[in-house]
Structure 1
Amino acid sequence: MISVELADILRSNRTDFNARFNEARRSYSGLNGEQFAVVLREMVDPLIVAVAELCPDCVAETTSVAYDVALELAGQNLVGPGGRNMAIDEGWRALLPSVARHLAAEPRRVLPAISNALHHLATTPGARPAEWARDLGRLAGLCGSADEFLRLGQAAAWRSGLAHYRTAALALFDSLPEQLSLALLEVSSPTSWKAVRLLLEQNRWYNPTTPECDQAVAGDQLRIVARVGAFRGFGGLFIEPPRVAVNGSSILVRSGPECWLLTADFFGATFHRCDPALFDASARQANLPPGLKIDGSTVRRNGITLNLDPLGMISSCAATVDTLALTSPLTHAVLLVALT
């Protein structure tokens, strides 16, 4: 059963909604009426009920937009029974009722943006769509407008694993109220956004949820901060154990004939395809920073030692000013060590 609010809108505009469904079926031959009914009941109805409680006059437009977005998602088999992307189903159910105020204000902007973000996060290895939805749900009430809410969502995508958004996210944080920026990052102690931003800029491995004194001690050590990448047979990118090289301030990763640019920080890591020729040229020029040495499975820097015996013999290494990447013939992952 669906709510009275949704049932009334669907009934009063039955001809129009049926026409939209039939039109969508021309593009998506696998679109199934019974399965779409489940999408309407489980994904669309809860958000319409929430909107109706806040703004009854907004229900018609919100329903119209939600119907079209849900129709496109179902047509691509991304949602509904047997859907390919459960993160969107779960995100709609968990997040949308709690952001009804912003949905009601600008449904044509907010609903597609949320759906696209959930899809992007869900299809990026290592990203965390459920965390993103939780963050937006807990902070939506602090947003003064739908526009502010959307900017929060873009910034939150970085925090949920999209490391390549780092620079853009910092600029977005600058545009948000300080209280909102600090709340999203769950900063551990009272401070200003300006102070936190400086630390984030200076150290990509800075954790805003941990007291600075603890991180000062950690910064004097060689710390393993991430293992990224996996065998393609298990859903990863690599067909064989990868190798790494450095190009300027960037780390490149190669596996077989394929090559990626790796972006990584405290919040996550992402891979972006690049020209293998760039890797080959960079590998020929590789040099470690002064004071950093690799010996078998041991990393040494300025009297500090990191033993990596379980990794086996290190097959390649690449270092930027703040990160050391290591590979081994025994694993399809890239090990990242913080140098700051």
Structure 2
Amino acid sequence: MISPAFASILASGRAQFNVRAVEARRRFPSLDMAAFGAFLHDSVDPLVVAVAAAAPERVGGVTLAAYDMALALVGHGLAGPAAKNPFLNTVWRELAPQFAPLLATAPVELLGMLSNAAIHLCTVAGARPAQWQQELAAVAPQVGSVVQLRAVGQVLAWRAGVAHFRLGALAAADTLPQALALAAFGEPGAQWPQVRAQLLDYPWRGNADGREFGAFTGLGGNFATPPQVRATKDGFIVRSGERHYLLVADAYGAVLHGATAQEFEQANAEMPSAVRLEGTTVHIGARSIALDLPAGDITIAANAHTLAITSPWTHAIRLLPLA
């Protein structure tokens, strides 16, 4: 059963809603009305209830906007019980109601923004959508506008593993009130200029152990053959078989993009003087790290902040902070 608030709006505008549904079926011939009804019940109703409590005078307009957007999302197969990834359903059901005051004033912008973010996060291998949702819900009471929501959403997407968002996220954080920016990074009480400078200068801030990235494609991984890497200023160009990639990694995650053979050939093969490999031990300044790889054929590459380690015996790339 849907809530009384939602049921009342649907009943009072039945003719209008029916016209919209008929038009949507023309635009989306495969639109499953049973799936649409389920999405209304499970994911639209909670946000209608939240707006009815926060701004009852606006609940009608919000419902109409949500209804139209729901038709399109279900029509495209992005929402509803049969959606390839159910995260968008969850965002509407659990996250959008946390922003009821903003939803009341800008339903199309807010639902569009959250929907696009949910869809994008689920396309980034290694991203952590559940973390993004949880952290965004935690700062919801401090978000005072759709503009702020867009900025903090970008910051939290970076923190949830979308590593190539790093510079854009820092720029977005600069537009936020300092208290909100610090809350997004889980550092209330700190000073934003200092935190920002550290994040900008050192991509591995808060992660001294680094990370391992990649696996064999036959096991759902990224690489058909053991990868080779060369360094660039902001990441690594990776070659695996005939394919080439740009790997961007930092404290929060690692993301793979397409690259070219020419970019691989032009990438840096030189090593910083502070890094050296002896047998199965890599030395980074005064640190020594024993590698769990067979001796011989271990290859290392480094840029200003990250060391990448590969071997013909593994499909994974070991990424270590240099500082």
| Structure 1 and Structure 2 fold alike (TM over 0.5) | yes
1:250 aligns to what?
235
Letter in 2 for 1:4: P
Q: Pick closer, same or farther for the CA change 1:100–1:314 going to 2, 3 Å.
A: farther
Cα deviation code 1:194-244 (max 9, x no counterpart): 11111111211112xxxxxxx8xxxxxxx5411122333343322222111
Corresponding residue for residue 299 of structure 1: 282
Q: Which residue is 2:262 aligned to?
A: 277
> Contact 2:293/2:311 (CA < 8 Å) preserved in 1?
no
Contact 2:234 2:248 in 1 (8 A): no
Counterparts of 1:114-263 in structure 2, within 5 Å, are 114-187=114-187, 190-207=189-206, 224-263=209-248
Query: Equivalent residue for 1:309?
Result: 292
Are 1:318 and 2:301 an aligned pair?
A: yes
5+ residue gaps, structure 1: 208-214, 216-222
Q: Does 1:102 align with 2:80?
A: no
Question: What amino acid is the match of 2:226?
Answer: P
Provide closer, same or farther for how the CA distance between residues 79 and 260 of structure 1 changes in structure 2, counting only shifts above 3 A: same
Q: Tell me the CA shift for residue 330 of structure 1.
A: 2.8
8 Å Cα contact 2:158/2:166 also seen in 1: yes
Identity value in percent:
40
Q: CA deviation at 1:38?
A: 0.6
1:312 positional shift: 6.2
> 1:47-88: per-residue Cα shift (whole Å, max 9, x none)?
000000111121122112212222222122222223211111
Q: 1:257 to 1:118 in 2, by over 3 A?
A: same
Q: Over aligned residue pairs, what C-alpha RMSD do you find?
A: 2.0
Q: CA 1:25–1:228 in structure 2 vs 1: closer, same or farther (change >3 Å)?
A: farther
Structure 2: which amino acid aligns with 1:29?
A: P
**Distance change (3 Å), C-alpha of 1:242 and 1:54:** same
Q: Structure 2, unaligned stretches of length 5 or more?
A: none
- In 2, distance between residues paired with 1:23 and 1:237? 42
Which residue type is aligned with residue 23 of structure 1? E
- Contact kept, 8 Å, 1:224 with 1:335, in 2: the verdict is no
* 1:318 alignment partner, SS class: strand
TM-score by length of 2: 0.93
Aligned partner letter, 2:271: L
Per-residue CA shift, 1:225-271, capped at 9, x if unaligned? 11122333343322222111113443111222221111111111111
What is the letter of the counterpart of residue 334 of structure 1? I
User: Which residue type is aligned with residue 31 of structure 1?
Assistant: L
* Alpha carbons 1:91, 1:129 under 8 Å: kept: no
Q: Does 1:50 align with 2:50?
A: yes
Residue of structure 2 in register with 1:22 after alignment:
22
Report the more deviating stretch, 169-178 or 27-36: 27-36
